[in-house]
Each structure stands twice: as C-alpha cells, then as structure tokens.
C-alpha cells in the first residue's frame, strides 16, 4: 500500500537464502502504519490508511471474526484505489445489508486457506510451468503468474492485480497488498 514495492524473483531468492534470524526482519509499513507480526489480519488492517474501504467491507460482510481467527490465511488485500477503480456506485451498493452475500463472496475470493509467503508463491508458479492455480475460501480460482518481476494475481474473469507489497506477516497468516479488486466468475 503506501510506498509500492514489487516482488522480484531475484529479491525473493536472495531473501530466501538468508538465515532464519536475518529473515525475521520487521514487516513493511502498510498505509503509513507498522504491521505487527503478533497481531492478526484484522488488527493490522484497521491501522492501514490504504485499506479503509477493505476494512469497512470486511465489517459489513461480518468477516471480522473469521479473519481474526486462527487461520492460517493468505489475504490478497486490495488498496482503497482498487475499490475506487470499480464502476461508480459499486462499493456503496455492495455495502448495503441486502448485498451482504455478494460482498462476502467477493471478499472471500481474496482469501486462500493457507499461508503462502512470496517464496511459496514463486515456487508454485515455477513448479506449475509459469502459473499456479489456487482455490479461495469464496470458491474462486485465482491464477498466479509473474510478469516483469512482479507477481500477478488473475481472477476467473481475467482481471489482473499486481502484488505491490508482499509478505506482511500476521499472527494468523500473511497479507499481500494488491492494486485491483478480484471478482468471482460472472
């Protein structure tokens, strides 16, 4: 979110070569706030100025308890600008109580029921011959690829999001910040 950081294969491979102690570096700041590894996904997300829309949506969908739970979860977390890029009125409509089921599916299509760090994602892509398919909590299938040194997450409609900050470690998983909203198949 804040200062955009791309994941590059070289950077990830060199980071993976570090010792455990050296690899236990501090999480990046997201949305102007420190992300503390001993806090859960929701506890950290509420502090990010770049995720206020996502937090409001998680609250409206009733997913706070779930995403505060044990996990592990990998969350591809869209920034506010990603929600703003949706057609006018979309977010407001989704936040209405009568659209809770649709909002819940959209949000859970950003959640993988496992912890997948950037090195894991790159390993899956490499072993998949250049792409990896992952199933989400919401029943969506995401395709993970790399392009120009960046990890790209593509939904079932062909909408692509770039991971801009990877490996924001949480007590119940990991967040990878993305620049677009992923949607279930239409």
186 located within any domain: no
Arithmetic mean of pLDDT, 35-53: 91
Global pTM reads 0.85
CATH of the domain at 55: 2.30.180.10
The verdict on residue 4 lying in a domain is no
In the chain, the percentage of residues whose pLDDT exceeds 70 is 87
Residue 163 has pLDDT above 90, yes or no: yes
Q: How far is CA 97 from CA 62, 102, 139, in A?
A: 10, 10, 22
- Render pLDDT for 77-124 as a digit per residue (tens, 0 to 9): 999 999 999 999 999 999 999 999 999 999 999 999 999 999 999 999
Overall number of domains in the chain: 1
The per-residue pLDDT for 3 is 26
Decide if 141 is inside a domain. Answer: yes
Three-class DSSP category at 165: strand
pLDDT > 50? residue 56: yes
Helix (H) or strand (E) holding 99: none
In a domain, 2, yes or no: no
Structural domain of 104 = 9-178
**Residues near 108 by beta carbon (within 8 Å), at least 6 away in sequence:** 63, 136, 137, 138, 139, 140
What span, in angstroms and rounded, lies between the C-alpha atoms of 186 and 184? 6
The span from the CA of 29 to the CA of 99, in Å, is 32
In a domain? residue 1 = no
pLDDT at 29: 82
Helix (H) or strand (E) holding 31: none
119 lies in a domain? yes
* pLDDT greater than 50 at residue 58: yes
- Let me know if residue 146 belongs to a domain: yes
* CA distance from start to end of the chain: 28
With respect to residue 97, please indicate whether it lies within any of the assigned structural domains.
yes
Residue spans of beta strands (DSSP E) within 83-122: 111-112
- DSSP H helices, 4-116, are 9-16, 20-23, 41-45, 52-60, 64-68, 80-84, 90-94, 100-108
Which is nearest to 59 in space by CA: 114, 99, 104?
Answer: 104
């Amino acid at each position: 979110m804040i200062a955009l950081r791309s994941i590059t294969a070289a950077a990830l491979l060199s980071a993976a070569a570090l010792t455990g102690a050296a690899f236990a570096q501090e999480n990046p700041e997201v949305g102007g706030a420190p992300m503390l590894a001993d806090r859960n996904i929701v506890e950290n997300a509420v502090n990010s100025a770049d995720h206020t829309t996502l937090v409001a949506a998680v609250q409206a969908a009733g997913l706070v308890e779930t995403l505060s739970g044990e996990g592990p979860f990998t969350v591809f977390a869209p920034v506010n600008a990603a929600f703003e890029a949706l057609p006018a009125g979309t977010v407001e409509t989704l936040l209405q109580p009568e659209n809770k089921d649709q909002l819940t599916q959209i949000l859970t299509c950003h959640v993988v029921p496992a912890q997948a760090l950037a090195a894991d994602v790159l390993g899956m892509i490499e072993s998949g011959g250049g792409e990896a398919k992952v199933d989400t909590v919401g029943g969506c299938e995401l395709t993970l690829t790399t392009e120009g040194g960046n990890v790209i997450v593509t939904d079932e409609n062909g909408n692509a999001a770039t991971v801009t900050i990877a490996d924001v470690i949480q007590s119940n998983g990991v967040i990878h910040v993305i620049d677009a909203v992923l949607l279930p198949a239409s």
